[in-house]
Amino acid sequence: MSTNTVTNQNLFQRIRKLRERLGPNLRDRVVATLYRQAEEITSQVVQKNAAQRDLDTFIDNIVTSKILGLPLMLLMFSGVLWLTITGANYPSALLSKLLFGFEARLTAAFHSLNAPAWLHGMVVLGMYRTLAWVVSVMLPPMAIFFPLFTFFEDLGYLPRVAFNLDRFFKKAGAHGKQVLTMCMGFGCNAAGVISCRIIESPRERLVAILTNNFVPCNGRFPTLFAMAAILTGTLFGASHHLPATLFVTGIVISGIGITLIVSWLLSKTLLKGVPSSFTLELPPYRLPKIGTLLVRSVLDRTIFVLLRAVIVALPAGLFTWIFANQHLNGVSLLDLAAGGLQGFGRLLGLDGYIILAFILGLPANEIVLPILIMSYLSQGAMLELESITVLKELLLNNGWTWLTALNMSLFSLLHFPCATTLLTIGKETRNVKWTLLAAAIPTGVAIVVCFLVTQIAHLFNLV
Amino acid sequence: MGMTRKASGIYAFLEELRTSSQDYQAIVALAGNPNTGKSTVFNGLTGLNQHTGNWPGKTVVLAKGFYRHQGKQLALVDLPGTYSLLAQSVEEQVARDFICFGEPDAVVVVTDATCLERNLNLALQIMEITSQVIMCLNLLDEAKRKQIQIDREKLQTLLGIPVIPTIARNQDGLDDLKTAINRMVFGGESAHPRTVRYDHDLEAALTELVAELEASFQTRVNPRWLALRLLDSDYPLVKKIISYLNHNRRHTLKSTPQGVKL
């Protein structure tokens, strides 16, 4: 063998040594140099009409600027939430008045037909009431939130969001496009999980899939809105829109924070690796056509999600009612199960009924709150739940404090994904282990966070 | 090359191209960003004489076509549209593998004149791999409408490669493009692409590694690009490059085929 022949091993060693000398992020340096060159050449050969150049660039310089980018984003997001909370109040009250008014008529009809009490209970108190709740609580915020969200989507703002958040995700060892999958998650986590296909590297796709659940989906937003109203109500005497908005914004931001932390932990442990660079095209801004926007957001999203919720709510309402009205030694099955979970619930600043509602709500997050209300109602006096104020009274009567509302929000934000999402994760990963982890990781996080919050609150005698 | 290479990926594709019924004297690859009118250029050049084929093992569809110009028969391969050759997507891998390991006789980069800067990024990356590059400056009509003016001659000087203006939609400039390709492939007219200079540390490392590679290997791919990727890429690409290098050892040196394994 000739002495100056490079063997593979020599070459490998040389490369390793040079790589060590050059330090990390070499690829970034290379890409930055290429971009600089491209910019330099362009500036020498391209001439644009000054006026034409460019409203887009001007706007982009502001909305993706290092200083203003994030605050502007937060401002717009809380603006959307504020409009949703404020705007949804009135139609929500109207709808529930209408639907619960119809419940009285249904009851009357059942009585006049001499229908047996169990049938009335199952159909009216079980199925219809859950349905009425789902519709009146979910429809108004969705009908406002989705068109607004679609507006920003069609405007071309979402890629800018990904651009703004890229550095954080990179630090967490995740892919910048994960932000886009999270945006989809706001609508529905199952859709969010499917959208993770846009991430090419399998490692980063898994990180995105496993953490998508930390973005509150549409099924959980109504719960968050209700909790916001109750929380601000118990703290300030009456429900205010501004603190409620800030509360929901805060919850969403903590969801993003948890996403980053969990992504970081995953990329340091189970899914080791470095983030890959990618090219994100910032499309030109386009003013959306209001007509198509409304049709698409209302038909494709609002009605779709609502129908799904209704389909799940009917059997769930029926099941819960039976569960609450089947007695064993004079105690209903529901109370029995909730009693068993009481101790655990208390540790997390919740109670047995809330934990049970989350478990029974596995098919869809939309029905967690209705199930909870029904379980509270089944043990005491019947209430006409016409508004949030009545809901607040019901919850306070069941021993709720602001801490319960806060923990309920956190648990809702962080707990296991719904059955649809889990099935989707199973299909996308084709792996039982990752699917189970997708349920276990969030649940673990939810338990730890709620436990800590509760213990801290008790430690400082805040409750 | 006289070596038996595994008939997978690029080599299977080239084998299929070779054994196709059509004769050709050179292979030209067509690269470019998405939405630059690359397919229009491809259709304009090959007319109906084209087929689509799968990149073996990947779910990327490649079109290949043939055309005759000035008595020469050429095969044209339409690579997937990409913004870069550096990231991880399957499309980018396929495009990159074809340009470097497929060793086409020339690469045409189709660029969108309305957003040249973004397109230059890909062009610069291709120019690092091979000097046989021609730029097709397309969509000039749209650029004109948007009042964007491009100094083509200056661009050509700065880049060091032929820059051919086209409006592929109207077949404008495609004949010039064909002629430029023939001049480069058959006329022995080689381009001298501008070299992208990196920071001082990286340049020092590159010089060192390139010298080492040049001592032992003779490659059609620019050793500078190989060295750069050996330093900044992930393991699969490093492995691919080393295996490519091993097939291109200088004959004067005796290699050690046994005992050295990756």
Instruction: Look up residue A269 and give its two tokens.
Output: 């442990």
pLDDT of residue A356: 93
**Record: contact A38-B89, CB cut-off 8 A:** no
Kindly indicate the confidence band of residue A52, based on its pLDDT and cuts at 50, 70 and 90.
low
Best residue in A1, A2, A11 to probe B by mutation, most B CBs within 10 Å? Answer: A11
A369 vs A404, residue with greater confidence: A404
Tell me the per-residue pLDDT of B111-126, one tens digit each, with 9 for 90 and over.
Answer: 999 889 989 999 999 9
pLDDT of residue B7: 42
pLDDT of residue B8: 54
Cα angle A86, A89, A92; round to 5: 145
| A200 chain-B contacts, CB cut-off 8 A | 87-90
Instruction: Look up residue A323 and give its two tokens.
Output: 């569960």
Place of tokens 């046989």: B132
- Round to whole Å and give the CA distance between A26 and A35: 14
- Round to whole Å and give the CA distance between A214 and A446: 10
Lowest pLDDT segment from A204-208, A215-219, A378-382? A378-382
pLDDT averaged over every residue in chain A: 84
pLDDT over 60 at B253, yes or no? no
Burial of residue A20, with CB atoms counted within 10 A of its CB: 0-12 exposed, 13-18 middle, 19 or more buried = exposed
For residue B206, give how far its alpha carbon lies from the nearest alpha carbon of chain A (Å): 9
pLDDT of residue B234: 80
pLDDT over 50 at A381, yes or no? no
List chain A domain ranges: 68-459
**Phi, psi at B163, each rounded to 5°:** -120, 115
Tell me the per-residue pLDDT of B59-105, one tens digit each, with 9 for 90 and over.
Answer: 567 888 999 999 999 999 999 888 889 866 778 888 999 998 888 99
Q: How far is CA A367 from the centre of its chain?
A: 15
- Nearest chain A Cα to B242, which residue? A8
Residues 6 or more apart whose Cβ sits within 8 Å of residue A414: A213, A214, A255, A258, A442, A445, A446, A449, A450
**Record: contact A5-B216, CB cut-off 8 A:** yes
For residue B159, give how far its alpha carbon lies from the nearest alpha carbon of chain A (Å): 8
- Round to whole Å and give the CA distance between A412 and A422: 16
**Record: contact B149-A7, CB cut-off 8 A:** no
Kindly indicate the confidence band of residue A133, based on its pLDDT and cuts at 50, 70 and 90.
confident
For residue B216, give how far its alpha carbon lies from the nearest alpha carbon of chain A (Å): 6
Closest CA to A413 of A176, A265, A250: A250
Q: How large is the average pLDDT for residues A170-187? A: 86
Rounded to whole angstroms, what are the CA distances from A232 to A238, A376, B100? Answer: 7, 22, 63
| B253 chain-A contacts, CB cut-off 8 A | 2, 4-5
Share of chain B above pLDDT 70, in %: 87
**Record: contact B150-A46, CB cut-off 8 A:** yes
Share of chain A above pLDDT 70, in %: 93
| B124 chain-A contacts, CB cut-off 8 A | 34, 37-38
Best residue in B59, B119, B158, B245 to probe A by mutation, most A CBs within 10 Å? Answer: B158
Kindly indicate the confidence band of residue B2, based on its pLDDT and cuts at 50, 70 and 90.
very low
Tell me the per-residue pLDDT of B136-195, one tens digit each, with 9 for 90 and over.
Answer: 999 998 888 878 899 999 999 999 999 999 999 889 999 999 999 999 999 988 789 999
Kindly indicate the confidence band of residue B256, based on its pLDDT and cuts at 50, 70 and 90.
very low
Q: How large is the average pLDDT for residues A89-118? A: 86
For residue A317, give how far its alpha carbon lies from the nearest alpha carbon of chain B (Å): 46
**Record: contact B88-A201, CB cut-off 8 A:** yes
Nearest to A2 among B90, B245, B253 (CB): B253
pLDDT of residue B67: 93
- Round to whole Å and give the CA distance between A9 and A3: 14
- Return the H-helix or E-strand segment holding A449: helix A432-459
| B84 chain-A contacts, CB cut-off 8 A | 31, 279
pLDDT over 90 at A39, yes or no? yes
User: Which sign does the torsion angle of CA A194, A196, A197, A198 carry?
Assistant: positive
Chain A contact present for B207, CB below 8 A: no
Kindly indicate the confidence band of residue A96, based on its pLDDT and cuts at 50, 70 and 90.
confident
Instruction: Look up residue A449 and give its two tokens.
Output: 């966070």
pLDDT over 50 at A1, yes or no? no
Write B91-96 long-range contacts (CB < 8 A, 24+): B91/B60, B93/B58, B94/B55, B94/B58, B94/B60, B94/B62, B95/B31
Q: How large is the average pLDDT for residues B218-241? A: 89
**Record: contact B198-A33, CB cut-off 8 A:** yes
Place of tokens 């150049």: A53
Interface list for chain A against chain B, based on CB atoms closer than 8 Å: 1-2, 4-9, 11-12, 14-15, 18-19, 21-22, 26-27, 29-31, 33-35, 37-39, 41-42, 44-49, 52, 200-201, 276-279, 281
Q: How large is the average pLDDT for residues A187-193? A: 83
Kindly indicate the confidence band of residue A379, based on its pLDDT and cuts at 50, 70 and 90.
low
Chain A contact present for B15, CB below 8 A: no
Nearest to A22 among B87, B205, B217 (CB): B205
| B197 chain-A contacts, CB cut-off 8 A | 33
CB A333 within 8 A of CB A377: no
* A-to-B residue pairs, Cβ atoms closer than 8 angstroms: 133
Q: Please tell me the CATH code under which domain B9-185 is placed.
A: 3.40.50.300
List chain B domain ranges: 9-185, 200-246
pLDDT over 70 at A217, yes or no? yes
pLDDT over 60 at A386, yes or no? no
Q: How large is the average pLDDT for residues A429-444? A: 93
Q: How large is the average pLDDT for residues A262-275? A: 86
- Return the H-helix or E-strand segment holding B31: strand B26-32
pLDDT of residue B5: 44
pLDDT over 60 at A167, yes or no? yes
- Round to whole Å and give the CA distance between A53 and A61: 13
Three-state SS string across A334-389, please? HHHHHHHHHHHHHHCCCCHHHHHHHHHCCCCHHHHHHHHHHHHHHHCCCCCCCCHH
- Round to whole Å and give the CA distance between A201 and A367: 35
Share of chain A above pLDDT 90, in %: 26
Q: How large is the average pLDDT for residues B16-33? A: 85
Instruction: Look up residue A196 and give its two tokens.
Output: 């993770």
Kindly indicate the confidence band of residue A2, based on its pLDDT and cuts at 50, 70 and 90.
very low
Rounded to whole angstroms, what are the CA distances from A305 to A138, A142, A299, A356, A425? Answer: 9, 9, 9, 24, 19
- Round to whole Å and give the CA distance between B67 and B132: 19
**Record: contact B246-A277, CB cut-off 8 A:** no
Tell me the per-residue pLDDT of A53-95, one tens digit each, with 9 for 90 and over.
Answer: 567 778 888 888 888 888 998 898 889 888 888 888 788 778 8
Cα angle A72, A77, A82; round to 5: 120
Burial of residue B121, with CB atoms counted within 10 A of its CB: 0-12 exposed, 13-18 middle, 19 or more buried = buried
